[in-house]
């Protein structure tokens, strides 16, 4: 796709920015302060797509996103898996022995916890990874380092003290590409798809068990089930489900029909192609 505008949360050099460049190399990436702003720009037509992280193989889900997505008027059009290779960045004249403080987004700090402890660095939480890298130029102190992408080192003229500072090999972040248009791919038997939806269960006994039972009886595989409390309530819960299948398949249609008996406010968020990267990631296994 050419001449598209892709909104993402963070500053230039963020992993979301890197994902935008990898998925949409011929488009313009637009930095936003918040996830909500990135989504809103798509909703009002000032951006074509939003690149939004939803989970990481090391640090788990980005809970804020699962709360924002049901409220939006956007649709999931694709998923992207971005391998995350954390770099330890510092000023050009710094060396590893100079470093006392390391800053980054809390999830990046969590994903590098073992190495941070190993070098006895003091971790400093920041709003995002690339912002922490950019701030090194303002601080101008050799004792400060940041954990960010290699793209950040290029953009802010920083040196890489360690190009693989993360604790786990294969660290990967899953992104969703959100669109205002609901472009559902045409169903083909030789392709694999994912349908994502959210719902609440009705106030009846064993409602969740019954709501999910239709997927089992119709041989439909649930890839992911996330639950979270609705704002302002400790009683009501909302569930996010990723399903292996396309809404044009009869077995999924039957499963969704059964779901409707025991659930309310069912909302299909999107139907999109299953990313082949899933085949290489045991953490995101669907077995």
What is the per-residue pLDDT for 287?
Answer: 43
Kindly state whether residues 146 and 198 are assigned to the same domain. no
Kindly state whether residues 144 and 96 are assigned to the same domain. yes
In the residue annotation, 173 being an active-site residue is answered as yes
In the set 49, 121, 175, 215, the catalytic residue is 175
Evaluate whether residue 187 is within a structural domain: no
Evaluate whether residue 252 is within a structural domain: yes
Expressed as residue numbers, the domain containing 149 is 87-162
Confidence bin at 232 (pLDDT 50/70/90): low
Mean pLDDT of the chain: 91
Confidence bin at 285 (pLDDT 50/70/90): very low
Element (DSSP H or E) covering residue 23:
helix 15-23
Per-residue pLDDT tens over the stretch 200-225: 887 777 888 988 999 999 999 999 99
Per-residue pLDDT tens over the stretch 102-130: 999 998 998 899 999 999 999 999 988 99
Put simply, whether the predicted model's pTM sits higher than 0.85 gets the answer yes
Per-residue pLDDT tens over the stretch 29-71: 999 999 999 999 999 999 999 999 999 887 788 888 888 888 8
Evaluate whether residue 287 is within a structural domain: no
User: What CA–CA distance (Å, rounded) separates 277 from 82?
Assistant: 9
**Is 143 a residue whose pLDDT tops 60?**
yes
What is the per-residue pLDDT for 131?
Answer: 93
Evaluate whether residue 261 is within a structural domain: yes
What is the per-residue pLDDT for 230?
Answer: 66
In the set 49, 173, 199, 239, the catalytic residue is 173
For position 267, which CATH number holds? Answer: 3.30.70.260
Evaluate whether residue 286 is within a structural domain: no
**CA separation, residue 109 to residues 5, 83, 191 (Å):** 30, 16, 38
For the chain, the domain total comes to 3
Evaluate whether residue 266 is within a structural domain: yes
| E strands present in the chain | 5-9, 28-32, 49-56, 60-61, 75-83, 87-90, 101-104, 122-125, 144-148, 159-162, 172-179, 193-201, 222-229, 237-244, 263-273
Confidence bin at 234 (pLDDT 50/70/90): low
| Rg of the chain on CA atoms, in Å | 21
What is the per-residue pLDDT for 235?
Answer: 62
For position 110, which CATH number holds? Answer: 3.40.190.10
Evaluate whether residue 220 is within a structural domain: yes
- Mean pLDDT across the stretch 185-195? 96
Q: Are 182 and 72 in contact (CB under 8 A)?
A: no
- Mean pLDDT across the stretch 143-171? 94
Per-residue pLDDT tens over the stretch 82-94: 998 999 999 999 9
**Is 2 a residue whose pLDDT tops 90?**
no
What is the per-residue pLDDT for 170?
Answer: 81
**Is 275 a residue whose pLDDT tops 80?**
yes
């Amino acid at each position: 796709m050419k001449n598209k505008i892709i909104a993402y949360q963070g500053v230039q050099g963020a992993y979301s920015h890197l994902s935008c460049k990898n998925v949409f190399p011929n488009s313009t990436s637009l930095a936003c302060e918040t996830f909500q702003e990135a989504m809103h720009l798509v909703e009002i037509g000032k951006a074509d797509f939003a690149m939004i992280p939803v989970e990481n193989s090391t640090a788990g889900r980005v809970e804020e996103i699962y709360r924002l997505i049901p409220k939006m008027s956007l649709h999931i059009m694709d998923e992207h898996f971005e391998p995350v290779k954390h770099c330890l960045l510092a000023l050009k004249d710094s060396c590893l022995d100079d470093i006392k403080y390391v800053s980054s987004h809390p999830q990046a700090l969590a994903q590098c916890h073992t190495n941070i402890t190993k070098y006895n660095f003091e971790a400093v939480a920041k709003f995002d990874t690339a912002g922490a890298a950019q701030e090194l130029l303002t601080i101008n102190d050799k004792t400060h380092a940041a954990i960010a992408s290699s793209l950040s080192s290029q953009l802010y003229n920083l040196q890489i003290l360690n190009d693989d500072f993360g604790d786990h090999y294969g660290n990967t972040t899953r992104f969703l590409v959100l669109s205002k248009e609901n472009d559902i791919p045409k169903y083909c038997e030789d392709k694999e798809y994912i349908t994502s939806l959210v719902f609440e269960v009705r106030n009846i006994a064993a409602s969740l068990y019954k709501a999910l039972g239709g997927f089992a009886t119709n041989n439909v595989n649930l890839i992911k089930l996330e639950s979270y409390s609705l704002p302002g309530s400790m009683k009501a819960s909302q569930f996010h489900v990723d399903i292996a299948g396309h809404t044009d398949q009869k077995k999924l249609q039957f499963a969704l029909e059964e779901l409707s008996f025991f659930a309310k406010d069912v909302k299909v968020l999107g139907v999109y192609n299953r990313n082949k990267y899933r085949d290489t990631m045991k953490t995101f296994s669907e077995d």
